[in-house]
Structure 1
Amino acid sequence: MAFEYDMAGRGDSSRYEYLYRCMRADIESGEAAPGQRLPSKRVLAKREGVSIVTVEKAYAQLEAEGYVQARERSGYFVALRQPVRVPAADVRTARISRRQEQDDAVPVPSGASAAPVSTAASATGASATGASATGASATGASVAVGEGSARPSAQPLQEFHGGSGLIADFSWPAYNPGVAATLWSRALRDTLAHEGDRELYAPQPSRGSLRLRRAIATHLASFRGMDVDPGRIVIGAGAQMLYGMVAQLILHATGAGMGMPDAHAPALGARLPSGVRLPADASQPSDASLPLDTPVVAVENPGYPRLASIYSAYGFRVHPVPVDAEGIDMDGLDASGASVVHIMPSHQFPTGRVTSVTRRYELLGWLAGGAERYLVEDDYDNEFRLAGRPVPSLASIDVLGRVVYIGTFSKSLGSALRLAYMVLPPVLSRRYDDDLGFYSNTVSVVDQICLSRLLESGDYERHVNRFRTQRRTVRDLFLDALADTPAGGMCHVEEADSGLHFVLAVDAPCGEGRIVRLALRHGVRLAPMSGYVQASAAARPPADRRAARIEDMPLPGYGDSRPRFVMQYDGLTPQAAPQAARALAAAVLEANAARA
């Protein structure tokens, strides 16, 4: 019978984790039917002999992953629309032997060593930012803040109107390097002191240090539940470098092109001011200028703007697809004609939404619908879910071998270190040696060994746990202070507990632009959600309409017209959080003064 378990069989698992896994298995197998009501927390706690808190944690994790849906005053109901089945396709790829790839020996190509894959695609290592705040759900619902619940020294303070330094800048991930810098400098000294010259200065495989790849595989197994062959891992100097490599691999695999940067694309290294977007024609070449057989990549909309530039640089036609409450819209994906989709399912940037389990299996079904389809899973801040367990990765349930998993250490150690990695599916891993194996690895060997030591010793995990706790504290300080202001009821937090940003929706009679200007006047810089909305070439307005303000257009995936802001609090300090909240509240009150 569904939802009846033997808790004595949990082994080393915690009670809440065992209960969550058993209930998830019942839902995935169809033992619990779609729409079925789950036992109340009190009933289930009594039946299984556990505390109500244990049941609450299990239900919260199931809700975060999209397995169940909470209905006010009604309880919890199964949200997965159909039992999980392997997509109908040739699943022989799921049985490919997990042999260790023989790339330990460094191939010595004739001629000089190769340059990095793409200097254009090697700017900041962080693929985006992300996270959340107390009380928001993973399904897009918002709660009023009042209900329940120094920038890095190397960077000069920006000036706002009035001549004083900013109190807080939420418009970009202004990482405060303090603890991470201390950790890295100590680890670097230990590495140089205790590692032999042969380890530090010997040539490394194109994929990167085998020692580091093994350490990353162990880390992924313990933290993400992924069984990864180190031979399929590739180390790169930042996520953007890896995006370019993925683009080249897929182009080679599909025979669509040579994967060289396109002269149409703009320079990728420059960071745009917050809220400012490239004109539609600058983000990618016009459809008319591309051959009819140009491969199409689908990206999320709103989404990370540089993705379009990077894929365009390698010859892809970029098609933005709206994101709804469950993730990227499947009808839009089907209509795009894409053979590649690049998504952030565990914490979408900038909306903060988590792709539901139903949508995840729909995406795997989409992969099965074409022989040359691939999905790029961008897991840029997977270590910073602030409540519950990490959401399982798409790569961990990919039986077709079509998911490329990309992770980065930029959120935990800072983007200055330029450390990222990708896990290639078997077919692309084999192609890597043939098509890109001639490249020299783009990350310093010393840095790779240093990171290996941090992962092996457990120091990295302890650092992440401390940093996660610190960021949760800062977030709560800001939100509690905002709730205590007269503007608390006008501010609504969306998509909490998933990473290092949340979305703030504001009740106001004006658009985003006015609130941005008022907040800057009070010392707070904001990033409007409209700054991340992208338009495909086919959907661009005529030239005489392009002057229309983006903030006046409806945001994809939202059912109301509230101004929304992406609140990236990576660099916010505990001391500045309350002051920043009061300054923002003053701006919101001033924006609402027109109603009086």
Structure 2
Amino acid sequence: MIFFTIDKDSRHEHVYQQIYKKLKTQLLEKRLQVNEKLPSKRQLAEQLQVSVNSVSSAYEQLLAEGYIYTIERSGYYVESLDQFIEHAAASSPMEEDLKEKEVDRSGWLSLSHMSSDLSGFPFKEWASCQRSALAHHKTDIAEVPGPQGPYKVRETIARLISRTRGVRCEPEQIVLGSGTQALLQQFVSLHPEHIRFGIENPGYTRVYKLLRQLNIETAPIGLDEKGIHMGEVKKISPDTLFITPSHQFPTGTIMPISRRIELLNWAALKEGRYIIEDDYDSEFKYGTDNIPSLQSLDRNQNVVYMGTFSKTLGPGFRISYMVLPETLLRRYRTIYDHWIPGTDAISLFTLHYFIETGMYERHLKRMNHRYEEKRTLLITELHRVLGSRIHIRDIPAGLHFLAEIQTEKSVEEFQNRARKEKLELYMLERFKLSEAADEKPGHISLVIGFAAIDEKDIPEAVTRLKKIM
């Protein structure tokens, strides 16, 4: 027997939706017997004082979902359904430590190395390029892209990095992806045999953790004044090195030509050795021209070049790429012939027009000037306020620099005080990948970013830093 009422004046649910939901509840709660015939559409409509069309829509939805079945010229019947198995724990409220809470960022100032400045981003020009992408690439957007991403976009990026970074490649060698981590996972999968990685220490914690999660043997390798330590590289002898030669993260060291040649010669001595060059923020250089990429010096196709638009456009755009040597490209096409890339075709074609029209390089020129002014202002203010208590490793490149400050606070206490003062910053300790030597007593090293902070907030940020010390 079906009995329920309908609120015909409801502004929240259509009548057919109410009928559908109430019938579904009765079916799940076994109030109707298996194979029991339901009232005809006309009968139920009369009982509920609603239109036949409303009952028909509800029945058709239940039929589509498999709650009922129909026999031609006979009517609708109750389908046989198993009872749900329900554990008590599964129905209890989510535990507090798993809940996500909105963070109140009001009053915070950021000296983070991860953010960028979108205040000067040419959104109107980007929107214009997006309109061009939608007008000229409807077919491309409507189809599943190839594993490496749209050829036209790769062609544009190949020309860009050849002109700006000296990278020597064909569009066919470029693989587009949503980020360095995703591309690195693909690189690893090209080596079914056991491989060993070496990574700079201090260095990218996210990359180190990813490799460990993939069960890749990964050795942290220390640094010297030229970058990654060649003595340790030769001793550990990894199959692949992950390095940041143009602006070492997080120390900022720019690798000189002597060390670059050493690394390339080391890689050339053994077949199957590769160097992954992560060129994450090389577009930003102050006072001198850009330094050519390590890949531009490679004579033996041992370098896998990785680049990103996260620093120049913004982290939320999620457009990265890698340039594979031909030997790896052949493996990639065999393994990933089924792959659907995780990139957004509209954004990729928008980027194509943004670069081709010259808007991208004009944007870079403006941001280089803006970041240089911010950087100079922040360093000047740090020296003025903190005096001899701060030593800045002043390398004019990238969007962060390393600073050593005098303080008797522990790293943990320093972090707690920074949160209390609503100042976002990161300690070098965060990027140490092994039990390396601690900071010298009475000192803490900070990785200070200047992209996100507004110029007018720099004095206040430095004042808060002094309070923390």
| TM-score above 0.5 | yes
2:264 alignment partner, SS class: helix
Which amino acid is the alignment partner of residue 304 of structure 1? Y
- Equivalence map 1:198-347=2 (5 Å): 198-249=139-190, 251-252=191-192, 256=193, 294-347=194-247
Aligned to 2:462: 581
Which amino acid is the alignment partner of residue 200 of structure 2? E
1:531 has 2:412 as partner: no
1:554 has 2:453 as partner: no
Q: Which stretch has the larger CA shift, 198-207 or 422-431?
A: 198-207
After the TM superposition, which segments of 4 or more aligned residues of structure 1 sit over 4 Å from their partners?
A: none
Which amino acid is the alignment partner of residue 115 of structure 2? A
1:488, distance to aligned residue in structure 2 (A): 2.2
1:362 has 2:262 as partner: yes
- Which structure would you say has the larger RCO, counting Cα contacts within 8 Å and 6 or more residues apart? 1
Aligned to 1:434: 334
- The RMSD of aligned alpha carbons is 2.2
CA distance in 2: counterparts of 1:165 and 1:464, whole angstroms: 29
- The 1:498–1:157 alpha-carbon spacing in structure 2 relative to 1, beyond 3 Å, is farther
Which amino acid is the alignment partner of residue 220 of structure 1? I
**Unaligned 5+ residue runs, structure 2?**
1-101
CA distance in 1: counterparts of 2:394 and 2:337, whole angstroms: 40
1:314, distance to aligned residue in structure 2 (A): 3.0
- The 1:224–1:560 alpha-carbon spacing in structure 2 relative to 1, beyond 3 Å, is farther
- Equivalence map 1:53-452=2 (5 Å): 157-158=104-105, 165-166=107-108, 168-180=109-121, 182-183=123-124, 185-192=126-133, 194-249=135-190, 251-252=191-192, 256=193, 294-452=194-352
Specify which of 489, 496, 507 is matched with residue 406 of structure 2.
507
1:470, distance to aligned residue in structure 2 (A): 1.2
1:492 has 2:391 as partner: yes
**Unaligned 5+ residue runs, structure 1?**
1-154, 159-163, 257-293, 541-549, 589-596
TM-score by length of 2: 0.74
CA distance in 2: counterparts of 1:563 and 1:461, whole angstroms: 37
Which amino acid is the alignment partner of residue 337 of structure 1? S
CA distance in 2: counterparts of 1:223 and 1:337, whole angstroms: 32
Query: Deviations along 1:79-98, whole A, 9 cap, x unmatched?
Result: xxxxxxxxxxxxxxxxxxxx
Q: How many residues align?
A: 368
1:561, distance to aligned residue in structure 2 (A): 7.0
- The 1:244–1:408 alpha-carbon spacing in structure 2 relative to 1, beyond 3 Å, is same
Aligned to 1:464: 364
- The 1:186–1:498 alpha-carbon spacing in structure 2 relative to 1, beyond 3 Å, is same
Q: Percent identity?
A: 27
1:498, distance to aligned residue in structure 2 (A): 1.4
Which amino acid is the alignment partner of residue 295 of structure 1? I
TM-score by length of 1: 0.58
CA distance in 2: counterparts of 1:328 and 1:587, whole angstroms: 32
Aligned to 1:571: 452
CA distance in 2: counterparts of 1:316 and 1:586, whole angstroms: 43
Aligned to 2:41: none
1:334 alignment partner, SS class: helix
1:180 alignment partner, SS class: coil
1:450, distance to aligned residue in structure 2 (A): 0.6
Query: Is the radius of gyration larger for structure 1 or structure 2?
Result: 2
- The 1:326–1:435 alpha-carbon spacing in structure 2 relative to 1, beyond 3 Å, is same
- The 1:374–1:196 alpha-carbon spacing in structure 2 relative to 1, beyond 3 Å, is closer
CA distance in 2: counterparts of 1:512 and 1:478, whole angstroms: 23
- The 1:330–1:201 alpha-carbon spacing in structure 2 relative to 1, beyond 3 Å, is same
CA distance in 2: counterparts of 1:387 and 1:339, whole angstroms: 36
CA distance in 1: counterparts of 2:231 and 2:124, whole angstroms: 46
Which amino acid is the alignment partner of residue 451 of structure 2? D
Q: Would the aligned equivalents of 2:168 and 2:295 in 1 still touch at CA under 8 Å?
A: no
Which amino acid is the alignment partner of residue 159 of structure 2? T
CA distance in 1: counterparts of 2:241 and 2:292, whole angstroms: 19
- The 1:300–1:444 alpha-carbon spacing in structure 2 relative to 1, beyond 3 Å, is same
Q: Would the aligned equivalents of 1:238 and 1:415 in 2 still touch at CA under 8 Å?
A: no
CA distance in 2: counterparts of 1:221 and 1:344, whole angstroms: 18
1:172, distance to aligned residue in structure 2 (A): 4.6
1:482, distance to aligned residue in structure 2 (A): 2.3
CA distance in 1: counterparts of 2:121 and 2:331, whole angstroms: 36
